[in-house]
Structure 1
Amino acid sequence: MSRLNGKRTEAERDGLKVNVAILGAGRIAHHMAETLNAMTEDPRYANLVAPYAVAARDGERAATFAKQYDIPVSYGSYEELLADPEVDLVYIATPHSLHAEQGIQCLKAGKNVLVEKSFTANASQAQELLDVAHEIELLCTEAIWTRYMPSRGIIDDIIASGAIGEVRTVSANLGYVVSGKARMIDPALAGGALLDVGVYPLNFIDMVMGPRPIKRINTAMIRHESGVDAQSSTTIIYQDGTIGIADSSMVSVSDRSASVWGTKGYLVCENVNNVASIDVYDPNHRLVKRHDVPEQLTGYEYQVASAANTILDGKGECPEMPYADTMRIMRLMDRIRSQWGLKYPFE
């Protein structure tokens, strides 16, 4: 179990830190370790979280990782990590195909979980994982960092202000060459561009459009020789006549831009998966205002802080990425893959 399960008053929260453990020791786990260390040195977060443990299937690898980042505890198996009563929050940094199984194991061991995107490989797995979290009453949230970043609030405020009028179209793209990575091209690990890369443009569109009903989806993809999707283009046509356009690729480099088009102007975001600035233009394409995004540690700190505060508040869902939003994205990606005729071997 975790030391911090249950609700508490503000006074009871005082002095409590959330011990974070990292499950997996791959590339993204290193980014999280760097983030946790930076948070311990930042007065905004120093009394909120503590890097506590790392687990890998290779004990020597885990020990080397722990030494590199001054993490107190390392384990050569996930089971040992889950048996440690000092672990409050587990960050799952393994391939998509393992997220549901490992997330459920964590929850049943009494651990809150922050699950790297894509949350799971499909909507069925996602629902199973969230059902367990709801039943056990622990935090289970998706680590899609753009949902938690300050840039999201800035975009929301611009749209709410009426600066660009009524939103009619949202467009976003992301592409970088990662097809040489074994995990990315392995169907058994739910590889492909969609779950790793395409998830960002789709989330950007969803953050602007919200849960409005979809009329139809037009989508096409190019397969990698391994069978997974290498690149794709998707147009979402909503029942109210608005449109979302998402392009993604793991075989080419895109400009990573995201735009919201309105009846009185438009906004353009630099880098859809880590927004650096937001420019607002009038109907004559004149720059009206540039909104700079606050300086960040790594960008991961916002999701960690949200998860930690949610745990200390005794709640089960982070407000930035509630269950409904995660499920909407997972169902959307299932629907897109269904049109492609793309199934993973375990489905």
Structure 2
Amino acid sequence: MQLKWGIAGVGMIAHDFLTALDTLPPEQHRVVAIAGKDVDRVQRLATLHKINTAYEGYEQLARDASIDIVFVSVLNLQHYEITKLMLENDKHVLCEKPMGMTYKQTKSLVDLAREKGLFLLEGMWSRFFPAYDALEKHITTGGLGEVYHINVQFGVQINDIERNLMKDLGGGAVLDLGVYMLQLINFIYKEPPVDVVCTGHLSKTGVDESVSCALKYKDGRTATMAAQTRATMTNKAEIIGTKGTISLEYFWCPTVLHISAANSTEWTLPKGKYKFHFHNSAGLSYQIQECWDCINKGIVESPKMSLDESILLSKLTDTMRAQLGVLESEL
């Protein structure tokens, strides 16, 4: 089966996605059209990546009958509206995270996809890295004993102009960085926390520019997470169990799993034809392949990143943003 892709959005992630897709078998994946609001940028990406059809705006992409699945990589604020448009036009969708800005939006998209029997996946690309499979195997076979604490940090230094823009783009420490930490914690504990306590700082425009959270789980388990836009942090996760600790570097896109001095595994990412904008973006190919694997088997939800989990994560990010004072106007 050849999956025919449409691309909605022409930002840096769209370029990285197309470059990663190009490393996969052409008999399984083909990009047939790309769409965006800035027609010059659409044409530029279409030319670079040899895509035959370029649309201005998203309506024509949604109505293009040759497309099976659409990758939605527009601004966070538009994820809901564009994903909804594609689902209404019977397209499968892979949507960049966060799928919706709020629980309400996310739940509505999940309900629509389920009602129409369409494949929908929130682009939590971390989940599809082989290191995550190996980590899960190590934990489930008792390698760490009982896991009692997870500590995650994610900080990237961005300037004031970008920080102020975050409001208009639907960004912020929780939605841009926090979801990555939450998905890892949830990947390991596999259930929602019983309590969440967050604090942090808002910028002058009301965007969360930092967040620190403590999460309490059943059976004596806890987690802490911190995101920061004013300073670069260690950007790693520590998973602490009764038999030891695993430190996961670049936890959102890891290519190394270091279990002990004698037990370390490294995976090589595919080489792209063009330079990637973001760290380890070649690993987007794992997520693209997951779409093919599921659709080929007639599965409409990825077992590695279920829609119920997307709903749970959106509830948690709502809670966090509300505690920080970001959400009053949105809920």
Task: Give the TM-score taking structure 2 as reference length.
Answer: 0.92
Counterpart check, 1:267 vs 2:232: no
Q: 1:185 to 1:77 in 2, by over 3 A?
A: closer
Q: Which one is further off, 245-254 or 136-145? A: 245-254
Q: Which one is further off, 232-241 or 310-319? A: 310-319
Tell me, in whole angstroms, the C-alpha distance in 2 between the residues paired with 1:295 and 1:340: 37
What is residue 16 of structure 2 aligned with on the other side?
31
SS in structure 2 of the partner of residue 267 of structure 1: strand
Tell me, in whole angstroms, the C-alpha distance in 1 between the residues paired with 2:159 and 2:129: 28
Q: 1:48: how far off?
A: 1.2
- Greater relative contact order (CA < 8 Å, ≥ 6 in sequence): 2
**Which ranges in structure 1 are unaligned for 5 or more consecutive residues?**
1-15, 40-44, 282-286
- 1:140-169 deviation per Cα after TM superposition (whole angstroms, max 9, x unaligned): 111111011111101001112222211111
Identity %: 26
Aligned residues: 321
Tell me, in whole angstroms, the C-alpha distance in 2 between the residues paired with 1:237 and 1:66: 47
- 1:258-281 deviation per Cα after TM superposition (whole angstroms, max 9, x unaligned): 111011111111111211322224
Q: 1:333: how far off?
A: 0.7
Q: 1:66 to 1:79 in 2, by over 3 A?
A: same
Alignment match of 1:200 (pick from 180, 185, 200): 180
What is residue 307 of structure 1 aligned with on the other side?
291
What is residue 134 of structure 1 aligned with on the other side?
114
What amino acid does structure 2 have at the position aligned with 1:319? P
SS in structure 2 of the partner of residue 300 of structure 1: helix
Counterpart check, 1:173 vs 2:147: no
What is residue 74 of structure 1 aligned with on the other side?
54
What is residue 216 of structure 1 aligned with on the other side?
195
What amino acid does structure 1 have at the position aligned with 2:263? K
Is the CA contact 1:193–1:229 (under 8 Å) kept in the aligned structure 2? yes
Q: Which one is further off, 329-338 or 272-281? A: 272-281
Q: 1:24 to 1:329 in 2, by over 3 A?
A: same
What is residue 239 of structure 1 aligned with on the other side?
218
Alignment match of 2:263 (pick from 289, 292, 315): 289
Q: 1:81 to 1:181 in 2, by over 3 A?
A: farther
What amino acid does structure 2 have at the position aligned with 1:289? N
What amino acid does structure 2 have at the position aligned with 1:31? D
Tell me, in whole angstroms, the C-alpha distance in 2 between the residues paired with 1:227 and 1:299: 33
Is the CA contact 1:187–1:345 (under 8 Å) kept in the aligned structure 2? no
Q: 1:188: how far off?
A: 4.2
**Which ranges in structure 2 are unaligned for 5 or more consecutive residues?**
272-281
Tell me, in whole angstroms, the C-alpha distance in 2 between the residues paired with 1:340 and 1:171: 20
Tell me, in whole angstroms, the C-alpha distance in 1 between the residues paired with 2:197 and 2:235: 21
Pairing of 1:1-347 with structure 2 (within 5 A): 16-39=1-24, 45-180=25-160, 182=162, 185-211=165-191, 213-281=192-260, 287-297=261-271, 298-343=282-327, 345-347=329-331
Tell me, in whole angstroms, the C-alpha distance in 2 between the residues paired with 1:147 and 1:184: 30
* Superposition CA RMSD, Å: 1.7
Tell me, in whole angstroms, the C-alpha distance in 2 between the residues paired with 1:305 and 1:76: 28
Is the CA contact 1:95–1:189 (under 8 Å) kept in the aligned structure 2? yes
